[in-house]
Amino acid sequence: MQTRSLVHVPMAIKAPFRGRCDKKVIFQVAIGARNGRIYLEMRQKGAKDQEFISIEGDCEVLVELKGAQVYFSKEHDAITMKDDYTSFYGGLTYGDYDPEADRYRSVSFYARFNKTGKCDTSHPFNINVDLHQRGGKPEWVPISIDPDIKNPPPWVNSKPL
């Protein structure tokens, strides 16, 4: 049996641009159970049926976890890249700390717009979470979710190409 290991490349420590950015992109990830089945939903807030993060300008990206049993990983950085994209993404910070679980439920980082890039360029990354299995063994189950960042997205100025 062949096994593959996940690639976990850390983001840059600092933001990939100087100055302020007022734009914020919110990406929500929900894991839970519905009608006896496990579900995973990923959505960029304000976008319809979009399971990726679209970067249309320099911005802050906020990733929020939804669901009673999902928290960011203690073993890995909450967000890791699948290649070296340190010139585009950095400044990872943690928020929404749950002292009972000793884990976080939101993170943010900064993204530099790829203004000379080809439209619909994908930058694959990992959202590293721990699923709390109350009373189970193991109690914490690590999961890596692998959505994409589209930088630039498949449209320009919010209009499809």
pLDDT in tens, 118-155: 989 999 999 999 999 888 777 999 999 999 999 999 87
74: nearest Cα among 33, 131, 133: 131
From CA 47, how far away is CA 90, in angstroms rounded? 23
Please give the average per-residue pLDDT across 94-118, as a whole number: 95
Residue 18: the pLDDT is 86
From CA 159, how far away is CA 89, in angstroms rounded? 24
Please give the average per-residue pLDDT across 104-118, as a whole number: 95
The answer regarding whether domain 24-160 maps to CATH 1.10.10.10 reads no
The residue ranges of every structural domain in the chain are 24-160
Residue 161: the pLDDT is 42
pLDDT at position 32 over 50: yes
Residue 5: the pLDDT is 64
Residue 7: the pLDDT is 82
Q: Write down the pTM of the prediction.
A: 0.89
**Element counts in the chain: helices (H) and strands (E):** 0, 13
pLDDT at position 156 over 60: no
8: nearest Cα among 126, 152, 156: 126
Are 134 and 101 in contact, with CB atoms under 8 Å apart?
no
